[in-house]
Amino acid sequence: MQVTTEAVPSALSAEAIAALPDDALEEAYVVRFDVHQRIQHILLISSFLALVVTGFPQKFPSIELCQWLMEVMGGIQTVRLVHRIAGGIMIFDGIYHMAYVSFTVLVLQRTGPLQMIPNIRDVKDAVRTVQYFLGMSLRPPKYGRFSYLEKFDYWAVFWGMFVMGGSGLILLFPVLATRFLPGQIVIASFRAHSDEALLAMTWIAVVHIFYAHLAPRVFPFNTSIFSGRVPASRYRHEHPLEYAQLVESGKVLMVPADAPTPSGPTASPPVVVLPDYLQAPAYDLPEVRPDPGAALGTAGADGEEPESDA
């Protein structure tokens, strides 16, 4: 990555950082999402909300609130127009994400995004988590960069985007679709679009909102997807394996809290900013070397591929 540990001597050794108590890490953070991921998420939220607001009244027209919504938004024609525009934004967002991931993996040769691929460990983690919930083990399993639940969340949305985007396009262009596909596919799409939407909405309303916002650890609002940063005191518990790896590989960069922090495409590797009272030595942020990924802005700003240059 662009910042080397040699160039920036850490105030504390890896062992010392790992041993810090949560209190000491109160103002420290780990950069988890780069600017592209944050933009992708903002596009996703806004298009998703617009799609729900314009889609829900279409699915449940007999609910009074839906009729009111429909009326307030200017009737079915306007609602459908907004729905289609929002759908277009979401499809664009999906393509953007795929391009981003492909570029990162294939061109920049970084394996970080591949960590999202589920493996047998996730199944074990899920089982062990439930065992922990049930009191059958004392501690929850240690998660890496993505816990099994986060992977599930990601792939649920990923799959949902395909189903919703695909069925939505078929419904929008039924004549074109039936040139290549059996006519039934249009009705199946109608069904799938409607039901998958319900599933997506339930998922977001229950799981995502709970784990991202309502869970006691993060209540009332987890800002990390907007700021890109997660407090280190939380990160070390949520992603202990990754955190340990970051500390171990010396990628945890300690800078004073008041130092200008890198952001955007030139962001440093995962950064822990330690507060002043830990007597971190005062120093300037190092020069940032031009990075091949800087153009796309994927240059590990999110620390997604800690092992890629380790």
Partner 1 sequence: MGGLALAVLSVLARAGFASAGRIPDPPASAQATAGMSDEECLRCHSDPNASLSLPSGETISLYSDPAVFRRSVHGDKLNCADCHVRNQTVPHPSLNVVTARDFHRAEYELCKRCHFENYTRTLDSMHFDVVAAGNAYAPVCTDCHTAHSVMRLAESHVQIAKTCSQCHGAIYDDYVQSVHGSALQSEGNPDVPVCTTCHGVHNIQSATTAAFRLASVDMCAQCHASKGLMDKYGISSNVLKTYLNDFHGKTVGFYQKQSSEVWAETPVCFDCHGVHNITRVDDPNSPVIKENLLPTCRRCHPDATANFPSAWLSHYEPSVNRAPIVFFVREYYRFLIPVMIVGLIMHISLDLWRLARNR
Applying CB under 8 A, the residues found at the interface with partner 1 are 58, 61, 67, 70-71, 75-77, 130, 132-135, 149, 171, 174-175, 178-179, 181-188, 190-192, 195-196, 198-199, 202-203, 206-207, 210, 215-216
Pairing of the two strands 271-274 and 253-256? parallel
Q: What is residue 282's three-state secondary structure?
A: coil
**Is the CB of 103 or the CB of 132 nearer to partner 1?**
132
Nearest to 302 by CA among 7, 153, 104: 104
**Is the CB of 76 or the CB of 101 nearer to partner 1?**
76
Nearest approach, Cβ of residue 161 and partner 1 (Å): 17
What is the Cα–Cα distance from 168 to 181, expressed in whole angstroms?
15
**Is the CB of 77 or the CB of 287 nearer to partner 1?**
77
What is the Cα–Cα distance from 167 to 172, expressed in whole angstroms?
9
**Is the CB of 96 or the CB of 132 nearer to partner 1?**
132
Q: Dihedral sign, CA of 53, 57, 59, 64?
A: positive
Nearest approach, Cβ of residue 54 and partner 1 (Å): 12
**Is the CB of 96 or the CB of 152 nearer to partner 1?**
152
Nearest approach, Cβ of residue 140 and partner 1 (Å): 8
Nearest approach, Cβ of residue 75 and partner 1 (Å): 5
**Is the CB of 19 or the CB of 130 nearer to partner 1?**
130
Nearest approach, Cβ of residue 218 and partner 1 (Å): 12
Nearest approach, Cβ of residue 183 and partner 1 (Å): 3
Which DSSP string do the residues of 136-205 spell out, in sequence order? SSSSPPPP-SS-HHHHHHHHHHHHHHHHHHHHHHHHH-HHHHHHHS-THHHHHHHHHHHHHHHHHHHHII
Q: Dihedral sign, CA of 94, 97, 99, 105?
A: negative
DSSP-assigned letter for residue 260? P
Nearest approach, Cβ of residue 300 and partner 1 (Å): 32
**Is the CB of 240 or the CB of 275 nearer to partner 1?**
240
Contact between residue 145 and residue 239 where contact means Cβ atoms under 8 Å apart: yes
Nearest approach, Cβ of residue 35 and partner 1 (Å): 31
**Is the CB of 184 or the CB of 277 nearer to partner 1?**
184
Cis omega before residue 57 (within 30°)? Answer: no
Nearest approach, Cβ of residue 186 and partner 1 (Å): 4
What is the Cα–Cα distance from 273 to 27, expressed in whole angstroms?
7
Contact between residue 246 and residue 30 where contact means Cβ atoms under 8 Å apart: yes
Q: What is residue 253's three-state secondary structure?
A: strand
**Is the CB of 182 or the CB of 260 nearer to partner 1?**
182
Radius of gyration of the chain (CA): 22
